[in-house]
Amino acid sequence: MIRKKQDYATAEEMASEQREISVAEFFAKNRHLLGFDNPNKALLTTVREAVDNSLDACEEAGILPDIVVEIAPVAARKEGAQLLLDGGNGKTAKGLSGAERYRVAVQDNGPGIVREQVPRVFGKLLYGSKFHRLRQSRGQQGIGISAAGLYAQLTTGQPVRITSRTGARKKPHRFEVQVNLAKNKPEEREEELADWDASQGTRVELEIEARYQKHGKSVDEYLKQTAVANPHARFVFRDPQGGELVHERSSKELPLAAKEIMPHPYGVELGVLIRMMKDTPSRSVKGFLQTDFSRVSPKVAGEILKRAGISEGYHPKTIARDQADKLYEAIQQTKIMSPPTDCLVPIGERQLEGGLRKEFEAEFYTSSTRPPSVYRGNPFQIEAAVAYGGKLPAEEPVNVLRFANRVPLLYQAGGCAITKAVGSTAWRNYYLQQPKGSLPIGPMVVVVHMASVWVPFTSEAKEAVASYEEILKEIRLALQECGRRVGIFINKRRRDADESRKRGFIEKYLPHIGIALQQILKFPDGARDKTCANLKTILEKTRQA
């Protein structure tokens, strides 16, 4: 085929088309990466991002969270407002979604947000306080709530509306914020309110295209699970059908405040080490190692530098690349204490079990909190709990509830380390059926919680935990502990059932034996009854031996 020259581009022509892509544009075009791929999930993701922020803020400020979630339908789209898109094959493709419009509002009693920060928190992607610190919190990326705002803007053209008040003696402020897509910058409108019904807190309202469902992966289910993992929080949910559901708090104990830690030397990559040395205010490499990392004592720092052949007083900024390489190697070869783990705040065995009791009716409950562990230099801690029996469905795979830093994970179960660990635990040892490599079958709910300063999610949508070997192992150990206790319960119940079945036989057949003996041996009635009583005693003894 002969093609004309002008169809092709030169390096110069190609260069003229190169330009910067704003992160807002990027995520607008790829919004499925953030959990907004369908109207169901978009609703859930929007609520989750707002509630996550509310819970984080309340806990950081030492306030027992009171959170109200409202979802109300907005004047629905006209009938027939559907895409009638002809595919190349001449068939009519379905409409994009059949979604409706909802107004989502989440209000908390938290510390509020200072005026100057509101536009950026809601109108700029990749902005926040949680990314740069190593501290256990629900949010960690600085994307969530601004992505929800972006989604609102894309689907309904409406800005996010924020009302915030930082104290009873402060004026409440109301904002309308949009993201400038090309610049990833907020565009806002602000007004001071004369009054507001809340003395403190934040209210976020978004108008989005969504679909509401009561069951399955729903806001209802998300709030139910959130209540399990956050027994100290109270939730009120007003659904689009006019219903109101309250999850009361089952504990008035605020979780311990999570502590921020410095990175552990083992978790830092060479490139990051080089960058840290450029940025540190320390003027000696020894000081740098001690202050910018956790668990580096003067002795350990000295040991590392000796191994690397770098003198202690060396200025970090002047360290050459090959020296950095040696320093990195030396760190890997030096025995350094594990990172501190008091930065982790598990839910706690008692609290987790309490939450489970509140939400699921069963016969037996148990829970287990593992000691903290470490993956890639990041401390983490696993907890598991199990509810068994009662009205839970007996013939289905067990219900696995997954949590990361107290946030329920409802999607991507198949790709999650938690599901994998449940499937690869040998539940048959604990008297449960289990098809090979699958979830066990039985009337059971399994809860697994991972607390960490940095949860390794498999995507920005924070739907599943990545399968690090260290994490899988800890989950399995926690499950085994719960499993053993459930096994003892199941086994005992089985023996009891066996027992009463046998007792039943004795009680059923013994009178007939008595009558038969009476007829054969011509007993009087008294002798017959006595014989029966004797026989019963003998049989019971034999059986118990």
Taking the complex as a whole, the smallest distance from the CB of residue 137 to a copy of itself amounts, in Å, to: 11
- Quick one: which H or E segment has residue 519? helix 469-521
Q: Could you tell me the two tokens for 236?
A: 């009120």
Taking the complex as a whole, the smallest distance from the CB of residue 136 to a copy of itself amounts, in Å, to: 14
Q: Does residue 187 bind a copy of itself (CB under 8 A)? A: no
Please identify which residue in 73, 77, 311, 512 interacts with a copy of itself, judged by CB under 8 A: 77
Nearer to a copy of itself, 33 or 506 (CB): 33
Question: For residues 331 and 264, what is the distance between their CA atoms, to the nearest angstrom?
Answer: 10
Nearer to a copy of itself, 5 or 501 (CB): 5
Taking the complex as a whole, the smallest distance from the CB of residue 499 to a copy of itself amounts, in Å, to: 40
Please work out, in degrees rounded to the nearest 5, the angle formed at the alpha carbon of residue 335 by the alpha carbons of 331 and 340.
Answer: 95
Could you write out the three-class secondary structure of 352-410?
Answer: HHHHHHHHCCCCEEEEEECCCEEECCEEEEEEEEEEECCCCCCCCECEEEEEECCEEEC
Q: Could you tell me the two tokens for 112?
A: 């509020």
Question: For residues 502 and 79, what is the distance between their CA atoms, to the nearest angstrom?
Answer: 67
| 378 strand-pairing partners | 375
Q: List the interface residues with a copy of itself, window 42-71 (CB under 8 A).
A: 57, 60-62
User: Torsion-angle region of residue 168: left (phi > 0), alpha (psi -120 to 50) or beta?
Assistant: alpha
Tokens 């990749």, residue located: 126
Q: Does residue 15 bind a copy of itself (CB under 8 A)? A: yes
Nearest partner of 139 among 150, 127, 131, judged by Cα: 131
Taking the complex as a whole, the smallest distance from the CB of residue 274 to a copy of itself amounts, in Å, to: 5
Q: Does residue 96 bind a copy of itself (CB under 8 A)? A: yes
Taking the complex as a whole, the smallest distance from the CB of residue 83 to a copy of itself amounts, in Å, to: 5
Q: Could you tell me the two tokens for 418?
A: 């938690």
Q: List the interface residues with a copy of itself, window 396-435 (CB under 8 A).
A: 414-415
The interface region with a copy of itself, picked from 44-52, 115-123, 188-196, 500-508 by CB under 8 A, is: 115-123
Q: Does residue 373 bind a copy of itself (CB under 8 A)? A: yes
Q: Could you tell me the two tokens for 495?
A: 């023996």
Three-state DSSP class for residue 281: coil
Nearest partner of 145 among 156, 153, 136, 134, judged by Cα: 153
Q: Using CB atoms within 10 A of its CB, is residue 61 exposed (0-12), middle (13-18) or buried (19+)?
A: middle
The interface region with a copy of itself, picked from 12-20, 416-424, 442-450, 482-490 by CB under 8 A, is: 12-20
Question: For residues 50 and 490, what is the distance between their CA atoms, to the nearest angstrom?
Answer: 41
Q: Strand 66-73 relative to strand 185-192: parallel, antiparallel, unpaired?
A: unpaired
Question: For residues 120 and 309, what is the distance between their CA atoms, to the nearest angstrom?
Answer: 46
The interface region with a copy of itself, picked from 77-85, 191-199, 481-489, 533-541 by CB under 8 A, is: 77-85
Q: Does residue 3 bind a copy of itself (CB under 8 A)? A: yes
Nearer to a copy of itself, 15 or 520 (CB): 15
Please identify which residue in 235, 237, 364, 375 interacts with a copy of itself, judged by CB under 8 A: 375
Q: Does residue 282 bind a copy of itself (CB under 8 A)? A: no
Q: List the interface residues with a copy of itself, window 250-269 (CB under 8 A).
A: 253-254, 256-257, 266, 269
Q: Does residue 112 bind a copy of itself (CB under 8 A)? A: yes
Q: Strand 173-180 relative to strand 185-192: parallel, antiparallel, unpaired?
A: antiparallel
Nearer to a copy of itself, 120 or 493 (CB): 120
Q: Does residue 30 bind a copy of itself (CB under 8 A)? A: yes
Question: For residues 381 and 258, what is the distance between their CA atoms, to the nearest angstrom?
Answer: 13
Nearer to a copy of itself, 302 or 415 (CB): 415
Please identify which residue in 64, 72, 74, 154 interacts with a copy of itself, judged by CB under 8 A: 154
- Return the DSSP state at 528: H
Taking the complex as a whole, the smallest distance from the CB of residue 9 to a copy of itself amounts, in Å, to: 5
Nearer to a copy of itself, 190 or 253 (CB): 253
Q: List the interface residues with a copy of itself, window 315-344 (CB under 8 A).
A: 321, 324-325, 328-329, 332-333, 335, 337-338, 341
89's CB contacts (< 8 A; 6+ apart) are: none
B/e letters for 116-142, b = 16+ CB within 10 Å, e = fewer, are: eebbbbbbbbebbebeeebbbbbbbeb
Nearer to a copy of itself, 238 or 370 (CB): 370
Nearer to a copy of itself, 142 or 487 (CB): 142
Contact 363, 466 (CB under 8 A): no
Q: Does residue 384 bind a copy of itself (CB under 8 A)? A: no
Nearer to a copy of itself, 255 or 442 (CB): 255
Nearer to a copy of itself, 432 or 472 (CB): 472
Nearer to a copy of itself, 225 or 419 (CB): 419
| 175 strand-pairing partners | 162, 190
Taking the complex as a whole, the smallest distance from the CB of residue 368 to a copy of itself amounts, in Å, to: 13
Q: Does residue 186 bind a copy of itself (CB under 8 A)? A: no
Q: Does residue 281 bind a copy of itself (CB under 8 A)? A: no
Taking the complex as a whole, the smallest distance from the CB of residue 403 to a copy of itself amounts, in Å, to: 19
Q: List the interface residues with a copy of itself, window 477-506 (CB under 8 A).
A: 477
Q: Does residue 197 bind a copy of itself (CB under 8 A)? A: no
Q: Could you tell me the two tokens for 474?
A: 């800890």
Taking the complex as a whole, the smallest distance from the CB of residue 10 to a copy of itself amounts, in Å, to: 6
76 CB-side CA count, 13 A? 10
Please identify which residue in 183, 189, 214, 275 interacts with a copy of itself, judged by CB under 8 A: 275
Please identify which residue in 119, 123, 139, 142 interacts with a copy of itself, judged by CB under 8 A: 142
233's CB contacts (< 8 A; 6+ apart) are: 55, 58, 64, 65, 66, 67, 226, 227, 249
- Applying CB under 8 A, what is the total number of residues that bind a copy of itself? 118
